[in-house]
Chain A
Amino acid sequence: MKKTDIFDVIIIGAGVVGSCIARFLSRYKLNIALVEKEAEVGFGTSKANSGVIHAGFHDRPGTLKANLCVTGNSMFDKLCEELNVPFKRCGALVVALENKELKILEKLKAQGEKNKVPGLKIIRDDDLFQIEPNLTRRVKAALYSPTVGVVSPYELTMALAENAKQNGVRILLDTEVKDVTFQDNGAKVVKTQKGVLFAKYLVNAAGLFADEIARMTGDNGFTIVPRKGEEYILDKKRKELVKHVIFPIPQRQTKGVLIIPTVDGNIMIGPTSQVIDDKFDLNTTGKGLQMILEKVRKIVPAINDRDIIASFAGLRASSEGGDFIIQPSAKIRGFINIAGIDSPGLTAAPAIAMMVAEILKGEGLKLVQKDSYQPSYRWIKFRELSPEQKEELIKKDKRYGNVVCRCENVTEGEIVDAIKRGARTLDGIKFRTRAGMGRCQGGFCTPRIMRIMMNELNIPLEKITKRGRKSNILWGKTK
Chain B
Amino acid sequence: MREIKADVAIIGAGPAGLAAALSAEREGAGEVLVLDRGEELGGILPQCIHNGFGLHRFKEDLTGPEYAQRFIDEVKTKRKIDVKLKTIVLEINQNKEVLATNSEEGIFKIRANSLVLAMGCREKTREMLHIPGSRPAGIFTAGLAQQWVNLEGYLPGREVVILGSGDVGLIMARRLTLEGAEVKAVVEIMPYPGGLTRNVVQCLQDFDIPLLLEHTITFIHGKDRLEAVSVAKVNSKKEPIPGTEKIIPCDTLLLSVGLIPENELSSLAGIEIDPSTGGPVVDERMQTSVEGIFACGNVVQINDLVDYVSQQGEVAGKNAALYALGKLEQPKGVINLKKGRNIRSLVPQIISAQGKVSFFIRVKNPEQKVKLVLGKSIFQQKNPIVKPNQMITWEVPFEDLRLNDDVKELEVSIRKL
Interface residues of A (CB under 8 A from B): 237, 280, 282-286, 288-289, 305-306, 308-312, 387, 390-391, 394-395, 398-399, 401-403, 406, 409, 439-444, 446-447, 461-462, 465-479
Decide if A476 touches B155 in the complex (CB within 8 Å).
yes
Assembled-state Cα–Cα distance A362/B267 (Å): 60
B147 interface residue per 8 A CB criterion: yes
- Inter-subunit contact A443/B137 (CB<8 Å): no
With a cutoff of 8 Å between Cβ atoms, the chain A residues found around residue B156 in the complex are 473-475
* 14 residue pairs from A and B, CB less than 8 Å apart: A282-B135, A309-B127, A391-B107, A401-B104, A401-B107, A439-B122, A441-B127, A467-B137, A470-B225, A471-B137, A473-B137, A475-B155, A477-B155, A478-B155
> Quick one: which of A283, A308, A440, A447 contacts B147, CB cutoff 8 A?
A447
* Cα of A477 to Cα of B267 in the assembled complex, Å: 40
- Can you list, as one digit per residue, whether each of B131-167 has a CB less than 8 Å from chain A (1) or not (0)? 0111111100101100111011111111000000000
Residue B101, interface by CB 8 Å? yes
Contact of B408 with A by CB under 8 A: no
| A289 engages B143 (CB within 8 Å) | no
User: Which residues of the partner chain B approach A473 to less than 8 Å between Cβ atoms?
Assistant: 137-138, 156
Identify 18 new A-B residue pairs, CB closer than 8 A, beyond the known A440-B125, A475-B158.
A282-B135, A288-B132, A310-B127, A387-B107, A390-B107, A401-B106, A403-B37, A406-B37, A409-B90, A440-B122, A441-B126, A441-B127, A443-B122, A443-B143, A447-B148, A465-B224, A473-B156, A478-B154
Whether B5 is near chain A, meaning CB under 8 Å from some CB there, is: no
Shortest 7 CB-CB contacts between residues of A and residues of B: A401-B103, A398-B103, A471-B224, A466-B137, A403-B88, A471-B137, A394-B106
Q: Using Cβ atoms and an 8 Å threshold, which residues of chain A touch B137? A: 465-467, 471-473
B320 to chain A, nearest CB (A): 23
| Residues of chain B with a CB closer than 8 A to A280's CB | 223
Cβ-based interface call for B417 (8 A)? no
Q: How far is the CA of A402 from the CA of B102 in the complex (A)?
A: 6
State the majority secondary structure of interface residues on B: mixed
B217 nearest CB across to chain A (Å): 12
A242 CB to closest chain B CB, in angstroms?
Answer: 21
Query: Which residues of chain B in 183-203 are interfacial with respect to chain A, using CB atoms and an 8 Å cutoff?
Result: none
Residues of A within 8 A of B225 (CB): 470-472
Instruction: Tell me whether B130 is interfacial, beta carbon within 8 Å.
Output: yes
Q: Give the complex CA separation of A180 and B20 in angstroms.
A: 69
Q: In whole angstroms, what is the CA distance A252 to B134 when docked?
A: 28
Does any Cβ of A come within 8 Å of B78's Cβ?
no
Q: Which of B123, B151, B224, B267 contacts A443 (CB 8 A)?
A: B123
Chain A proximity mask over B218-240: 1 for CB below 8 Å, otherwise 0: 01000111000000000000000
B15 to chain A, nearest CB (A): 17
Whether the pair A308, B127 counts as a contact (CB closer than 8 A) is yes
The docked-state distance in angstroms from the alpha carbon of A441 to that of B144 is 11
- Residue on A nearest B125 in the bound complex, by CB: A441
Residues of B within 8 A of A284 (CB): 132-133
Write out the residue numbers on chain B whose beta carbons fall within 8 Å of the beta carbon of A446. Answer: 144
When each residue 56-92 of chain B gets 1 if its CB lies under 8 Å from chain A and 0 otherwise, what string results? 0000000000000000000000000000001010100
Partner of B132, one of A283, A387, A406: A283
CA distance A309 to B123 in the complex (A): 12
A residues in contact with B130, CB < 8 Å: 286, 289, 305, 308, 311
In the complex, the answer to whether A391 meets B1 with C-beta atoms within 8 Å is: yes
Chain B residues touching A, range: 35 or more
| Chain A residues closer than 8 Å to B157, beta-carbon distance | 474-475
Q: Is the CB of A477 within 8 A of B103?
A: no
Q: Which of B105, B122, B154 contacts A461 (CB 8 A)?
A: B154
CB of B251 within 8 Å of the partner chain = yes
Chain B residues near A474: list those with CB within 8 A: 148, 154-157
* Chain A residues whose C-beta falls within 8 Å of the C-beta of B180 in the assembled complex: 479
Interface of A is mostly: mixed
Which residue of B has the minimal Cβ distance to A474? B154
Contact A444 B154 (CB under 8 A): no
Q: Which of B106, B141, B149, B179 has the most CB of A within 10 A?
A: B106
With a 10 A CB-CB cut-off, give which of A237, A310, A478 has the most chain B CB atoms. Answer: A478
Query: At the interface, yes or no: B128 with Cβ under 8 Å from chain A?
Result: yes
Q: Which residues of A contact B132 (CB under 8 A)?
A: 283-286, 288-289
- In angstroms, Cα B122 to Cα A398, docked, is 27
Bound Cα distance A312, B151 (Å): 31
Taking a contact as CB atoms under 8 Å apart, the answer to whether B104 and A398 are in contact is yes
**Residue contact A478 to B149, C-beta cutoff 8 Å:** yes
Nearest B-chain residue to A307, judged by Cβ: B128
A454 to B254, CA, bound (A): 24
Nearest-neighbour CB distance to chain B for A311, whole angstroms, equals 6
Task: Tell me the smallest distance from the CB of A475 to a CB of chain B, in Å.
Answer: 5
From 115 to 131 in chain B, residues with beta carbon under 8 angstroms from any chain A beta carbon are 122-123, 125-128, 130
Nearest CB to that of A310 among chain B residues? B127
- Taking a contact as CB atoms under 8 Å apart, the answer to whether B143 and A476 are in contact is no
Task: Point out the residue from B88, B126, B133, B154 that lies within 8 Å of A283, measured CB to CB.
Answer: B133
Docked CA distance A309–B260 (Å): 13
Shortest distance between the CB of B189 and any CB in chain A (Å)? 15
In the complex, chain A residues whose CB is within 8 Å of the CB of B144: 442-444, 446-447
Most buried by A among B127, B149, B264: B127
Q: Which single residue of chain B is at the shortest CB-CB distance from A387?
A: B107
Contacts of A309 in B (CB 8 A): 125, 127-128
C-alpha gap A472/B37 in the complex (Å): 28
Assess A469 versus B155: contact at CB under 8 Å? Given A312-B135, A403-B37, A409-B90.
no
In the bound complex, CA of A479 to CA of B144 (Å)? 18
Query: CA separation between A447 and B152, bound complex, in Å?
Result: 8
Closest to B147 in A: A447
Does the CB pair A394–B107 fall under 8 Å? yes
- Asked if B103 and A394 make an inter-chain contact with CB atoms under 8 angstroms apart, the answer reads yes
Q: Which residues from A are CB-within-8-Å of B179?
A: 478-479
Q: Is the CB of B153 within 8 A of A477?
A: yes
Judge whether B224 and A469 touch: CB under 8 Å: yes
Residues of B within 8 A of A478 (CB): 149, 153-155, 179
> Please, which residue of chain B has its CB at the minimum distance from the CB of A426?
B137
Q: Which residues of B contact A475 (CB under 8 A)?
A: 154-158, 251-252
* Cβ-defined partner of A470 (8 Å) among B106, B149, B224: B224
- Min Cβ gap B50→A in Å is 15
Smallest beta-carbon distance B28→chain A, Å: 33
Q: State in angstroms the CA–CA spacing of A34 and B123 once bound together.
A: 41
Expressed in whole angstroms, the Cα–Cα distance for A406 and B35 within the complex equals 14
Set of chain B residues within 8 Å of A399, measured between Cβ atoms: 103
- On chain B, the residues within 8 Å of A409 by CB distance are 88, 90
- Complex-state Cα separation, A473 to B148, whole angstroms: 11
Q: How far is the CB of B44 from chain A (nearest CB, A)?
A: 10
Tell me the bound Cα distance from A474 to B133 in angstroms: 21
Q: Measured between C-beta atoms, what is the minimum distance from A460 to chain B in Å?
A: 10
The minimal Cβ–Cβ distance linking A329 to chain B, given in whole angstroms, is: 32
Distance (whole angstroms) from the CB of A447 to the closest CB of chain B: 6
Q: Specify which chain A residues have a CB less than 8 angstroms from the CB of B152 in the assembled complex.
A: 447, 461
Minimum CB–CB distance for A333 against chain B, Å: 38
Residues of chain B contacted by A398 (CB below 8 angstroms): 103-104
Q: Chain A residues with Cβ under 8 A from B223's Cβ?
A: 280
Cα A462 to Cα B153 in complex, Å, equals 11
Bound-state CA distance A312–B101 (Å) is: 33
- CA distance in complex: A467, B128 (Å): 22
CA separation between A467 and B267, bound complex, in Å? 35
Closest A residue, CB atoms, query B153: A478
Output the residue of B88, B132, B152 with the most chain A CB within 10 A. Answer: B132
Shortest beta-carbon distance from B173 to chain A in Å? 16
Q: Is the Cβ of A390 less than 8 Å from the Cβ of B106?
A: yes
Instruction: Provide the residues of chain A in CB contact with B136, threshold 8 Å.
Output: 466, 471
Least distance between B149 CB and chain A CB atoms (Å): 6
- Decide if A283 touches B134 in the complex (CB within 8 Å): yes
